Amino acid sequence: MLQFFRSRQWVVTRRLILVGIILVLGYRSYGDAIVLRLRGANPKRDIVITRAEFRAELPGDKPVWIIGLRNNSKRYTYDQIQLQATYMDDKGTVLENDKLVVKQKLTPGDEKIIGSVDFKSRGGAKRGTLAVLGAEEAQ
């Protein structure tokens, strides 16, 4: 039995165990940072809509959106944020779907509230919802 501890196989096994321990401890300490570096930009995951108000009752012929956006990414800056807008009447019936592009630069961890006049008259729409479709990664 003591001959095994003097053999070449024990030396190799001991080194492999030490490398395994170092890898486990390194992953526990720096795993999130490593995964963040390897993972690419994902605007649907990173950009969160914090506020989405559709105001059709304001004076004038065009309705207004009040949009709050937050970039939860720790690494990527986004621009040209594409949103899916769904317009509904008082009863919740979907009247129209449209794509909006918000030309706003969001740096990592940044949150902005934007007021935007809708480019179309939306008829009988009284409510609206927004969803993030995508965005361009800014340099």
Per-residue pLDDT of 52-76, as tens digits, reads 998 887 766 778 889 999 999 888 8
Find the domain containing 31 and state its range: 4-38
Question: What pLDDT, on the 0 to 100 scale, is given for residue 80?
Answer: 92
Q: Does residue 68 share a domain with residue 26?
A: no
**Token pair 């794509």: residue:** 99
User: Does the structure show a pLDDT above 90 at 1?
Assistant: no
Check residue 24 and give its pLDDT: 93
Residues 90 and 116 in one domain: yes
Contact in structure between 82 and 74 (CB atoms under 8 Å) = no
CATH of the domain at 75: 2.60.40.3230
pLDDT digits (tens, 9 = 90+) for 10-38: 999 999 999 999 999 988 998 887 777 77
Do 16 and 76 belong together in one domain?
Answer: no
Q: What percent of the chain has pLDDT over 90?
A: 44
How many domains does one find in the chain? 2
Q: What is the pLDDT of residues 83-124, one digit of tens each?
A: 999 999 888 888 889 898 989 899 999 999 998 887 777 778
Q: What is the pTM of this model?
A: 0.69
Residue written as tokens 């914090």? 50
Question: Within this chain, do residues 29 and 81 fall inside the same structural domain, yes or no?
Answer: no
| Cα–Cα distance, 116 to 65 (Å, whole number) | 5
Q: Angle at the Cα of 89 (from 87 to 95), degrees rounded to 5?
A: 45
